[in-house]
Structure 1
Amino acid sequence: MPPTSAPTASLVEVGSAVWRKSTFSGASNGCIEHAELTSDRRAIRDTKHREFGAIVFESSAWHAFVSSINSGTLPL
């Protein structure tokens, strides 16, 4: 299967997104935040370094990633 290009999002969309911090980070800022974007995409960013931007995923890739973490099948 040929590689596909990563989805993109505008700076305005990422900047105006509603971000949620991972529940695993507790009171610290040592984790990630995620946001739902338009066109069925998700974005993640480093809580400590929001100024570095975000990585955008298709919703299906995000759900597969979260599912593999929850099931313990994510290869390390």
Structure 2
Amino acid sequence: MFDWSTVVWRKSSFSDAGGNCVEVASCGDVRGLRDGKLGKSGPVLVLDASGFGAFLNAVRAGRFDR
């Protein structure tokens, strides 16, 4: 298990001031995603490069829109 507390997390430029944001970190060929409101105490979704690409494509296609 990787210690995600040692990486640099980046916040989406689309985040709002209320803390509704997704943060992304890279470590080698994997990416971690977390809820910015929860920070270190929250879970991390870990995806390999192809999984992360598929996730981004799904977001761009609106598959997670309500």
Fold conserved between structures, TM > 0.5: yes
Q: How many residue pairs were aligned?
A: 64
Residue 17 of structure 1 corresponds to 7
Q: Which structure has the larger Rg? A: 1
State the secondary structure of the residue aligned to 2:24: strand
TM-aligned CA deviation for residue 28 of structure 1? 3.0
Match of residue 34 from structure 1? 24
The Cα shift of 1:32 comes to 1.0
1:1-76 matches, cutoff 5 A:
9-11=1-3, 14-38=4-28, 40-50=29-39, 51-72=41-62, 74=63
SS of the residue corresponding to residue 14 of structure 2 reads helix
Structure 2 alignment gaps of length 5 or more: none
Give the counterpart letter for 2:36 in structure 1. T
Give the root-mean-square deviation of aligned CA atoms: 1.8
CA distance in 2, matches of 1:75, 1:29: 19
Q: Identify, as 1 or 2, the structure richer in helix.
A: 1
1:75: Cα distance to partner?
A: 6.2
Moved over 2 A (4+): none
Alignment TM-score, normalising by the size of structure 1: 0.69
What TM-score comes out, normalization by structure 2 length?
0.78
